[in-house]
Amino acid sequence: MSSEIPPYEERIKWFHQARFGIIVHWGLYSIPGRGEWVMKNERIPADEYAQLAKKFNPKKFDADEWAELAKEAGAKYMVFTTRHHDGFCLYDSKVSDFTSVKTAAKRDFVAEYVKAVRKAGLKVGLYYSLLDWRFPGFFDLKSKPDSAKAMVAQAQAQIEELMTHYGKIDYFWYDGSWIPGLQKDEIAEFWETKGINAMVRKLQPHILINNRSGSPEDIDSYTPASKINEKEPGRGWETSMPIGDRGGWGYLHNNPNMKSVTQLIQHLVEAAAGEGNCLLNIGPKPDGTVRKEEVDRLRAIGKWLSANGESIYGSERSPFDRKMLGRTTAKGNIVYAHVFHWPKQGEITFPSIMNKVKSATVLSTGQQARIETGSSCRTFLKDLPKIPPDPHVTVIKMVLDGKPEAGCWWPSTP
């Protein structure tokens, strides 16, 4: 591997093409099925929690199945929890005995995952939590500085292992950099983030790194509280969310509040409209299989993407914003209108398009709309079906005579 770090514009290319990824939360916490924060939320002592490792022997774990499912969903990359806040490694670590290799399973799940994801032709992402709840120093930095130091040393060593033992890694997804009692601007110094990331980039020059290590790095990765926030053009950003509700990313035994396929597709469209990515989470069962509710949704998204992916992968921003109607993306001279709320007349009005619209076609069916222009710079698409052609989100592809140009602010009527 060459040690030259390619420029940002080069490294970020695949990420902007991808638009859709799958993150997997899976580990010891999948056994109790009360979410990945169960250890802390229920104040389970570390030695008691560690007993779960004796039971963790997922015979049905099949990394190829995960990777094939992600591919079927139309995702272009995956991210996997190599180690969450509980400290349990799903891979072989020289600096810890609390791993899936040294306990009941005796397997390196990260190795299996990386191999399968690569085989499926997807980009490989690794999630790693810096913090580890087993270290008392995490909770009490001041009076237990040695424990805190040991936690930092562990993170540095384990990240080096992850970056050394599994071949090319495309995306490093940090999490858990916060420390009780430390301010945001003290985090990077505590973890020695600069040094770790320099090491990561030396070992993996092409890698993308997210912004959760106390340093902005390559990608803004966040979970929206309500609305999705776009970042400045060029910058890679990603909105991550579970398919279920906010109750947890790891397996939840009863999780009736799953997002609908339509909701999930709309999230993806919204991210794509802002030139960002949607990273959707699944929380497989303790035996390694993915629950039916998640499988069904991923397959439905994949079906939608196979008909409409042209408007999503590699999407650019379009200047014609119609939030009441849906969201638009663009690609060169083409604009894609994603209609969330199909009008009952089967007629759609677009204001402000200064270009000539050469054609307007329902992407999934090929049906052409009749195009009319009216006063006040309106473009009317007519003769469309009264019932939305796609039950989730219908995409209309408009070919313009040049780069999309918005203008003519109402009520001015040239």
- Between helices 63-72 and 292-308, what is the axis angle to 10°? 40
Compute CA 30 distance to the chain's CA centroid, rounded to the nearest angstrom: 20
Is the Cβ of residue 223 or residue 368 nearer to ligand JFZ in the bound state? 223
SS (H, E, C) 250-298: CCECCCCCCCCHHHHHHHHHHHHHCCCEEEEEECCCCCCCCCHHHHHHH
Is the Cβ of residue 35 or residue 288 nearer to ligand JFZ in the bound state? 35
Is the Cβ of residue 238 or residue 390 nearer to ligand JFZ in the bound state? 238
Q: Which residues bind ligand JFZ (CB under 6 A)?
A: 25, 36-37, 175, 222-223, 240, 249
Min separation Cβ 240 and ligand JFZ, Å: 6
Min separation Cβ 223 and ligand JFZ, Å: 4
Which pair of tokens denotes residue 373?
């222009």
What whole-number distance in Å separates Cα of residue 87 and Cα of residue 221? Answer: 22
Min separation Cβ 219 and ligand JFZ, Å: 13
Is the Cβ of residue 175 or residue 390 nearer to ligand JFZ in the bound state? 175
* 376: phi then psi, degrees, rounded to nearest 5: 60, 35
Is the Cβ of residue 240 or residue 311 nearer to ligand JFZ in the bound state? 240
* 380: phi then psi, degrees, rounded to nearest 5: -110, 130
Min separation Cβ 333 and ligand JFZ, Å: 37
Min separation Cβ 385 and ligand JFZ, Å: 40
Min separation Cβ 269 and ligand JFZ, Å: 21
Nearest residue to ligand JFZ, scored by beta-carbon proximity: 223
Min separation Cβ 234 and ligand JFZ, Å: 22
What whole-number distance in Å separates Cα of residue 77 and Cα of residue 123? Answer: 4
Is the Cβ of residue 221 or residue 311 nearer to ligand JFZ in the bound state? 221
What whole-number distance in Å separates Cα of residue 187 and Cα of residue 30? Answer: 29
8 Å CB contact between 302 and 74: yes
349, containing H or E segment = strand 348-351
Centre a 10 Å sphere on the Cβ of residue 401 and count the other Cβ atoms it contains: 10
Is the Cβ of residue 222 or residue 313 nearer to ligand JFZ in the bound state? 222
